[in-house]
Each structure stands twice: as structure tokens, then as C-alpha cells.
Amino acid sequence: MTLPLLMAVAAVYLAATLLYLKVFLAKQEPAVLQARRILALGFVLHTAAIIAIHMNDSRAVTPVQESVSFMAYAIVGLWLVFQRKWRAAVLGALLSPIAFLLVFYTTLPLEPETSLTEFRSLWSHFHVVLSVIGFGFLALAFAAGATYLIQDRELKSRKTEAIERVVFRLPALEVLDRANAFCILYGFPILTLGMIMGGIWEVALGGDWSWDLKITLSIGTWIFYLVLVLFRLLAHQRGRKAALLSVLGFIMLASSYLGGRALG
């Protein structure tokens, strides 16, 4: 039951992706409402899939796949909450394919490398929940930053066609900058708490804390985001540089999570 649900979620997120791309590329405004409804349907199905995963003692997915599924769930949930606030529907064209790829990964037949009992502790739940919510916020910051860079480039090109495309399909630069700042300033502290809980969990599991590649990559990414937050708050920097840093930061975050587990 769990795997078919996850496959259905992936299919629905893919459908939402195509609709959001239709909005962005073909300037078809009615598709915005359709995409929103399809994405909401996927979120409901995803909720059912997550419940099914936790009710299934045999675990149809590995612990890593489960956390990846939660990341997609957080991205979609946060986007459904904030999309009307920012009136930037086109961000869905970046977020929905990320959600699709993450859920698709959870449908792959992989063997768990960690004992399932290790994922039953209270600390593990705190770690996972806080980390994926922080990841979700930073994914939204990535989408806002990437869209900012696209629009900024188009406006600076001063081409009539480009300006028309920006005006009708992309939100104002100020809106994108506010959305980017909001997501970073909320996502970074939440992610930090998740990392702290993860450290406590590691110690609680074995009574010993050892340095490894995952920790190195995670701390490196955390420092990068710390610099970005200070860049925003203390230097009062906005605009293109902040957007570019948020895009690079999210690429580092995703790479540190997936690369750390692939390489050890």
C-alpha cells in the first residue's frame, strides 16, 4: 500500500510541475489555480503515504528515503501556505519538480543500511522534523533567489520581449527579495536546531561522537548559511548578491545531504 501511494504522489507532483511550467512558459493564468489544486491533492496523498509508512512495521522505504520524503512534504506544505502571501505562483515551477524528484527517489528499491530501531528515539524525531522544516524553508529561499536572478537578468537585458515576459510571468524583485529573506531567516535557525538534535541523537546512540564526512559537509554548509544570515542582517545586503548566495547555499545543502550519505 505504501509504495503505490508514493508512486501516486510522485505522479501528482509531476502533473503539478507541468502545469506550473505551463504558467511560466505559456503565460496561461488559469493553469495557476489548476496547479495549486493538483499540488494540494498531492499533499493530501503524501500525508496518507507518510501515515502508511509509520503504520508499516516492515518499512517499505529506507530511513534515508523516509527523510527525503519528509523534505518533499515540507517543501510542498510550506509552499501551499505562503504562495498566496507572496503572490508568486511561478516559484512553483521550481519547487514542484524538486518535490517530484525527492518523492521519486523514495520509490526506488533500496536496502536500509541502518537499524530501524535507531530511528525510533525521541531525539531522532526532533532531528528529522526540525531538519526537514528548515530544509523546506531554504528550498523556498532557493526558488525565490533563482527567480530573482532570472528576472534581474531579463530586466538588465532591456529587450522588449524579455521585459514583457518578466512583467506578466514573474513577481516583482522586491517581493522575491522579501520572500528570500523571510525563508532564510526562519529556515536557518530551524535547521540549526535540527543539527543540534542530530548531534544529541548520535551521542545517545553510541555514547561516542566521531567526526566523519557527513558532519564535515553539514558544518561547512551551516557556516555558509551563517555568513548569509549575517550578510543579510548586519550588512543589510539585499538583491542579487543575497539571491545568488541563497541559490549556492541550497545547492551545498542538498549536496552535503546526498553526497555525505553516498560517500560515507
Three cell numbers at 117? 530501531
- Which residue among 84, 107, 130 closes a domain? 107
Summary mean pLDDT of the chain:
81
- 175 pLDDT exceeds 80? yes
Three cell numbers at 254? 542538498
**CB-CB contact of 65 with 110 (8 Å):** yes
- Which residue among 73, 107, 141 closes a domain? 107
Looking at per-residue confidence, does 65 or 95 come out higher? 95
**CB-CB contact of 60 with 53 (8 Å):** yes
pLDDT band (50, 70, 90) for residue 163: very low
Winning range, highest mean pLDDT, from 9-13, 107-111, 173-177: 9-13
Three cell numbers at 41? 491533492
Looking at per-residue confidence, does 57 or 246 come out higher? 246
Looking at per-residue confidence, does 235 or 177 come out higher? 177
The structural domain count of the chain equals 2
pLDDT value at position 98?
93
**Same domain, yes or no, for 130 and 66?**
no
CATH of the domain at 35: 1.20.120
The residue segments making up the domain with residue 239 are 115-264
Q: pTM score, two decimals?
A: 0.84
- 261 pLDDT exceeds 70? no
pLDDT value at position 166?
47
- Which residue among 107, 127, 151 closes a domain? 107
CA–CA separation, 244 vs 55, rounded Å?
Answer: 41
